[in-house]
């Protein structure tokens, strides 16, 4: 899997995605989320793959083990590079997700969402009835994902350090909430720069609007890539 920043393709249509990608003359690592995938389906994935890019298909699967396993068999045939599930689906669901993927593609990495960053500690306690701190809840799911055989988690850079301490360097920590120095945080609440994310233990960063909404996306991408990789 490439180490370059993962560009979140949060666009409304296939045409917009293609216009954006055609500005680049190098292989990229991009993220396709639910919004886009549910409108454009596998056809878009094939078109992006045909351009030689790696894909993180961010669909956050969460269902009974058999359904997730069969869904993963389908995603594996799209030859994406990274997929994810909710750790809340449990150990058996995660094991069956891996089994489904491996039937068609031994190389796809799979990571877990622990607690969504939109969930507050009050919601954790009152709605989910989990009576620990958010940190403990996140760590619990990270360890469960690891012992179920997953390759890593999606997390905030601010959680990456404790996950590195508990789950090791090789366990993937894919972190959104990244903003270059002095750029607009948009609706992200707690942001870090690419350099800070690296120090904190992120193994991959996900960056959307600072690149996709930039006046010069290629230049913005290169600046972020350099500060992340160097």
189 is catalytic: no
Site for ligand C5P in 103-132 (CB under 6 A): 116-117
How far is the C-alpha of 18 from the C-alpha of 53, rounded, in Å? 12
Report which secondary-structure segment, H or E, holds 86: strand 82-86
- Map tokens 């992006």 to a residue: 48
102 marked ligand binding residue: no
d(CA 60, CA 131): 24
135 binds ligand C5P (CB under 6 A): no
What b/e readout covers 104-139, taking b as 16+ CB neighbours within 10 angstroms? ebeebbbbbbbbebebeeeebeeeeebeeebeebbb
CB of 148 to ligand C5P, least distance (A): 20
Query: Among residues 14, 49, 60, 143, which one is catalytic?
Result: 60
For residue 178, give the DSSP letter: B
Backbone angles phi, psi at 224, to 5 degrees: -65, -40
Scan for tokens 């913005």, then name that residue: 220
Tally: H helices and E strands in the chain? 10, 8
107 annotated ligand binder: no
Report how many residues bind ligand C5P under the rule CB under 6 A: 14
Looking at beta carbons only, is 16 or 99 nearer to ligand C5P?
16
Q: Of these, 39, 77, 186, 216, which contacts ligand C5P (CB under 6 A)?
A: 186
Q: Of residues 188, 196, 214, 217, which one binds ligand C5P by CB under 6 A?
A: 188
C-alpha gyration radius of the chain: 17
Provide the β-strand partners of residue 112. 85, 153
Q: What's the start-to-end Cα distance of the chain, in Å?
A: 18
Of 33, 42, 90, 217, the residue at the interface with ligand C5P (CB under 6 A) is 33
* Contact range with ligand C5P by CB under 6 A, out of 45-53, 124-132, 137-145, 200-208: 200-208
114 in a known ligand binding site: no
Q: How far is the CB of 178 from ligand C5P (least distance, A)?
A: 6
Smallest gap from residue 102 Cβ to ligand C5P (A) = 25
163 scored as a contact of ligand C5P (CB under 6 A): no
**Is the Cβ of residue 35 or residue 136 nearer to ligand C5P in the bound state?**
35
In the complex, which residue's CB is closest to ligand C5P?
Answer: 208
**Binding residues for ligand C5P, per CB under 6 A?**
8, 10, 33, 116-117, 154, 176-177, 186, 188, 206-209
């Amino acid at each position: 899997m490439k180490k370059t920043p993962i560009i979140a393709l949060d666009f409304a249509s296939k045409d917009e995605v293609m216009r954006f990608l055609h500005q680049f003359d190098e292989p990229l690592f991009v993220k396709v989320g639910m919004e886009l995938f549910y409108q454009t389906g596998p056809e878009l994935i094939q078109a992006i793959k045909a351009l030689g890019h790696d894909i993180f298909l961010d669909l956050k699967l969460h269902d009974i083990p058999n359904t997730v396993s069969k869904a993963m068999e389908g995603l594996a045939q799209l030859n994406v590079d990274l997929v994810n599930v909710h750790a809340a689906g449990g150990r058996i669901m995660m094991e069956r997700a891996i089994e489904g993927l491996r039937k068609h593609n031994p190389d796809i990495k799979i990571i877990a969402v622990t607690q969504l960053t939109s969930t507050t500690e009050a919601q954790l306690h009152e709605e989910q009835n989990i009576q620990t701190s958010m940190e403990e809840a996140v760590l619990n799911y990270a360890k469960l994902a690891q012992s179920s055989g997953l390759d890593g988690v999606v997390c905030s850079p601010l959680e990456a350090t404790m996950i590195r301490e508990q789950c090791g360097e090789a366990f993937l920590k894919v972190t959104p909430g990244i903003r270059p120095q002095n750029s607009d945080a948009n609706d992200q609440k707690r942001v870090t720069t690419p350099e800070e994310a690296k120090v904190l233990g992120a193994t991959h960063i996900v960056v959307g609007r600072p690149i996709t909404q930039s006046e010069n996306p290629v230049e913005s991408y290169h600046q972020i890539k350099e500060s992340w990789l160097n």
